[in-house]
Amino acid sequence: MAIITLFHGSPHESVTPEYGLGNDKHDYGRGFYLTKSVELAKEWAVCRPDESNGWVHQYELDTNGLRILDFQEHNVLAWLAELMKHRDAADSKRYRVLAAKFIAKYGIETSSYD
């Protein structure tokens, strides 16, 4: 069994992860964002305009049987292409065209990953 410890930073004291929630425009689209870094989770917990305190929640995840895409095993351009998929460029036709070409060249098909 491969158990990993992950952290989630939040403005809420109590958090229950739910599948399918979140904003399509976040870095990787909808989802419940976790990190291996407790320090990064602390940053996320207070990443709001009013700078009020937040909470860091710890989770354990059994990765056995999961198909995990690790961007650290790929060129940084693949990671950038994934971020671009979720950026709104409605105000810039040039950006939309260039982003589509960049994603086509460097993007990774992610639909087969969990």
Q: What separation in angstroms does the CA of 81 have from each of 31, 35, 88, 106, 113?
A: 18, 20, 13, 6, 16
- Structural domain includes residue 12: yes
Give the model's pLDDT for residue 103: 92
Q: Are residues 77 and 46 part of one domain?
A: no
pTM summary value:
0.75
Give the model's pLDDT for residue 49: 66
Average pLDDT (14-38) is 84
Radius of gyration of the chain (CA): 16
- Structural domain includes residue 111: no
CA-based nearest residue to 22, from 10, 40, 13, 4: 10
- In whole angstroms, what is the distance from residue 103 CA to residue 95 CA? 12
Q: Are residues 33 and 58 part of one domain?
A: yes
Read off the pLDDT of residues 54-82 as tens digits, 9 standing for 90 and up.
999 999 999 999 999 999 999 999 999 99
| Owning domain of residue 55 | 3-62
Read off the pLDDT of residues 40-57 as tens digits, 9 standing for 90 and up.
999 889 876 666 789 999
Average pLDDT (89-96) is 76
Q: How many domains does the chain fold into? A: 2
